[in-house]
Structure 1
Amino acid sequence: MGVDYYNILKVNRNANDEDLKKSYRRLAMKWHPDKNPNNKKEAEAKFKHISEAYDVLSDPQKRAVYNQYGEEGLKGVPPPGSRSNFSNGNSSAQSDFHFNPRNAEDIFAEFLGSSPFGIGSMRRGRSVRFQPDSGISGGFGGPENVFRSYSEGVGAGRGVSRKPAPVESKLACSLEELYNGSTRKMKVSRNVVNANGRLISETEIFTIDVKPGWKKGTKITFPDKGSEQVNQLPADLVFVIDEKPHDIYKRDGSDLIVNQKVSLAEALSGTTVNLITLDGRELNIPVNDIVSPGFEIVIEKEGMPIVKERGKKGNLRLKFEVEFPARLTAEQQAGIKHILGG
C-alpha cells in the first residue's frame, strides 16, 4: 500500500471522525515546525505527512480510494495486478476521482479555524505557505523575519493573536532542597482547547528537578503549558523558585550566614560552636579569639553549591553577637576589675 496513513496518524482502520480529529490535533501541534526550532527539517516532513494523512482519511471519497487502492490509487496509478480495470472506467470508486493534495498549513488552519502560532487568519489566498524545499532560511513559511512580523502583531486586524504573558507560580523550596537538590512534582489544572475547539479542563503533573545551588527567582519554563484560549497561542507555564526561611542559616548569594550569640564569658574565654550542616554533617567550630563587636569567622567551602562551577561552594560565615548580662553584683564587678586590671 506504500505510505500507511493510519500509522502516520496513530489510529486504527476503523477510526471515526472524532478519533481522526483528536489524533490529528495532538500530532499536528506536536510537530508544527514553529514548535520545533531545533529540528525544523524533521518537523516539517512529519507535519506535512500528518496533515496529508488527515486530509485523506477525513474525506470519505479519498479514504475509500485509499483503502481499496492505496497511495498509488490516490495518484491515479494502477496498482500491480489491476490491469486495465483500474483506469478504464470499470471501477466506479476510481473512474472520476482526482486527488489534489492540499497545503499542510492550510489543512492545519482550516481544522483549527486559525493558526495558534501567530501566523495570521490563514484565509485562502493569504496563508503563509509551508515550503520545506524553498531554500529560504527558516524553512517554514518563508524567511524567519516574515514569520516574526506576523507573530508580533504587524498584521493587526487580520486575526493575528499575540502570545499571552506567561502563567507564573511560586515553587517554595527549603534551604536543604536548594543545597542538596530535589525532585518536585507539581499538579496543575488548566484549560485546553479540545479537538472540537471547545475549552475543557485537564490536570497534568509536572516534574521539576531542583538543581543544587539554585537561587530564589530561578525560573523553570514549560513552553505552551499554560491555559489555552480559542484562536490564541497557549501561554507558557513558569515555576519561580522561592526560598523558605531557615531557623539557623540565612543565604547571601553563595554564602551561608549564621548569627551566633555567645555570652560575655564565652566571648572572653572562648567557646565551641556546634552546627548541623544542610546535608546532615556535624561541624564543631572552636572559637579561641576574643569575640568583639563585628567579629566574624569564615569557613571556606561550607556555603551553598555554585551552579555554574561544578564542585565549588561558597563560604560559611559566623557572625557573633555578645550577650551582656543585665546586671552584676558588687562582688562580680570587683572580681572583673581585679581580673582585667581595672
Structure 2
Amino acid sequence: MVGDYYKTLDINRNATDADIKKAYRRLALKFHPSSNRETGSTETFCQLGEAYDVLSDPRKKATYDKFGEDGLTGGIPPEFGSSGAWSSKYVYHGKPEKTFRDFFGGDNPFADFLTNDTPLQFGGLQPGAVKTQGPQIERDLHLSLDDLFHGCSKHIKISHRVMNEDGHTSGIKDKILAINVKPGWKEGTRIIFPKEGDQGPNCIPGDIVFIVRQTSHSLFVRQHNDLIYKAQITLQMALIGFSVDVQTLDGRLISIPVNDIVHPSYHKVVTGEGMPLSQDPERRGNLIITFDIQFPKKLSADRKYLIKHALTFK
C-alpha cells in the first residue's frame, strides 16, 4: 500500500481527472527505471502506478476518499455497499509497467512518445511502426429507476489526451459526451463511444464504454421488465379482501382490488404496469404486488375465542 495516493502524485484532493493524468504522465516518465539513471526508481515507479490505478478509477477513488486505506484494502462494510463505491478488497497487481503501457499505449511506451515539456532522449515516433489500439476504458453510469423508465439525456465530461498538430507532442483536453438513455434500458447495458480514449503517435485511441448501473428505488424492485411492489397489510385484510393504492413511475395512482385470501406465497399480477421494453417502449412488463402480512402481537382470551369460532368451518 502506497499510503497517501494524492501525495504520491503530488496533487491535492480536489484534483480533476485531467490533473491526475497530467501528474501521472509527468512523474511516470521522470521516474521510469529506463528513462534516466539519476531519477529512475523502481520503487517510486511502482508507487506511482498504484496511485494512478486507484485515483483514475471513479469507484476505487470514491472508496479511498470516503473510507481511506482500510476501506480500500479491506472492503467496505455491507451497509455501505449500495452507494456504488468499490466494495471488494483492493490489491494492486504489482505490475507498474502494465499500468504505464495501458496509459501510453503500445508494448514499448518509450518508443512512441514525446512529452509536452521535454522530448524523450531515446526513441520517438518510429517510421513504419504499426499502430495498435489502446485499451478499452470502462466507466459506470449510475441511473435511477425513473431515468430508466422515462428515458433521459446525460452529458458527461471526460478528459483525454489528444495529439497536437505537430504529431509529436500531446495535451489533455476536455470533451462532453452525450448519452441518450432509452426507456427500458437494463442494468449492464453498455454504451460505446469508439476511439474516445487517449491518443498517441503509434496508438489508435481506445473506446470508452459506459455501463449502466441502476440505483435502488424506495418503492419498487426491478426484475427484468417487471416491477415488484411490496404492500403491508393486516391479517384481517388478508382474510376478507381490500384494495392496494400504488403510485406508478409515470405519476398515476392506481387502485388494485384484492378479493382473494392472501396467503404467504400469494402475489397479485397487474399486466402492463411494469417497465417499458427497450426494443418496443409501447409495450411494458408487469407490476407484481407481494404482501407482508402484519400479525397481531397479542390476543386477549375473548378475541381468541371469537377468532376460533369465526374460523370454524362446517
Under a length normalisation based on structure 1, what TM-score does the superposition of the two structures give? 0.52
In the alignment, the residues of structure 2 paired with residue 228 and residue 160 of structure 1 have an alpha-carbon distance, to the nearest angstrom, of: 14
Equivalent residue, structure 2, for 1:299:
270
Question: Which of these residues, 279, 299, 303, is aligned with residue 308 of structure 1?
Answer: 279
Q: How does 1:5-24 map onto structure 2 within 5 Å?
A: none
Task: Report the equivalent of 1:175.
Answer: 145
Match of 2:164 among 169, 176, 194: 194
Q: What does the per-residue CA deviation read over 1:130-171, in whole Å, with 9 as the maximum and x for residues that have no partner?
A: xxxxxxxxxxxxxxxxxxxxxxxxxxxxx3343122111111
Q: Which residue in the other structure is 2:133 paired with? A: 163
Q: Which residue of 2 aligns with 1:250?
A: 221
How far off is 1:204 after superposition?
0.9
8 Å CA contact 1:296–1:319 kept in 2: the answer is: yes
* 1:293 counterpart letter in structure 2: P
The C-alpha deviation readout for 1:20-75, integer Å capped at 9, x for no partner, is: xxxxxxxxxxxxxxxxxxxxxxxxxxxxxxxxxxxxxxxxxxxxxxxxxxxxxxxx
Name 2:205's counterpart in structure 1. 234
State how far apart, in whole Å, the 1-side matches of 2:294 and 2:260 are: 16
Note the C-alpha offset of 1:321: 2.3
8 Å Cα contact 1:121/1:160 also seen in 2: no
Is residue 285 of structure 1 aligned with residue 276 of structure 2? no
Q: Deviations over 1:155-207 (max 9, x none)?
A: xxxx3343122111111111011011001111112222221322211111111
Query: 1:140 aligns to what?
Result: none
| Structure 1 segment 125-164 matched on structure 2, within 5 A | 159-164=129-134
Tell me which moved more, 201-210 or 327-336: 327-336
Percent of paired sites with the same residue: 37
1:297 Cα offset (Å): 0.7
- Alignment partner, residue 332 of structure 1: 303
Is 1:269 aligned with 2:246?
Answer: no
The CA distance in 2 between the partners of 1:180 and 1:310, in whole Å, is 10
CA distance in 2, matches of 1:330, 1:189: 72
Letter in 2 for 1:220: I
Q: Per-residue deviation at 1:121?
A: 6.0
Q: Does residue 1:318 correspond to 2:289, yes or no?
A: yes
**SS in structure 2 at match of 1:336:** helix
Q: How many residues align?
A: 190
The offset of 1:310, in angstroms, is 4.2
Any gaps of 5 or more consecutive residues in structure 2? 1-110, 113-124
Whether the aligned pair in 2 keeps the contact of 1:224 and 1:236 (CA below 8 Å) is yes
Partner of 2:312: 341
For the pair shown, the structure with the greater C-alpha radius of gyration is: 1
Q: 1:203 aligns with which of 174, 193, 197?
A: 174
Q: CA separation in 2, counterparts of 1:182 and 1:169? A: 18
Task: Give unmatched runs, 5+ long, in structure 1.
Answer: 1-112, 115-119, 124-158
Distance 1:177 1:216 in 2: 12
Q: Distance in 1 between matches of 2:163 and 2:263?
A: 66
Aligned alpha-carbon RMSD (Å): 2.0
Alpha carbons 2:232, 2:291 under 8 Å: kept: yes
CA positional deviation for 1:219: 1.0
Which runs of 4 or more aligned residues in structure 1 lie more than 3 Å from their structure 2 counterparts after TM superposition?
A: 120-123
Quote the Cα distance in structure 1 between the aligned partners of 2:254 and 2:239.
22
Distance 2:200 2:298 in 1: 70
TM-fit CA distance, 1:228: 2.4
What's the secondary structure of 2:306's corresponding residue?
A: helix
Distance (whole Å) between structure 1 residues aligned to residue 126 and residue 274 of structure 2: 55
Give the drift of 1:280: 0.9
Determine the C-alpha separation between the residues in 2 that align with 1:203 and 1:217.
26
Q: Which of 150, 155, 159 is the matching residue for 1:185?
A: 155
Q: Provide the rounded CA distance (Å) in 1 between the counterparts of 2:169 and 2:255.
A: 63
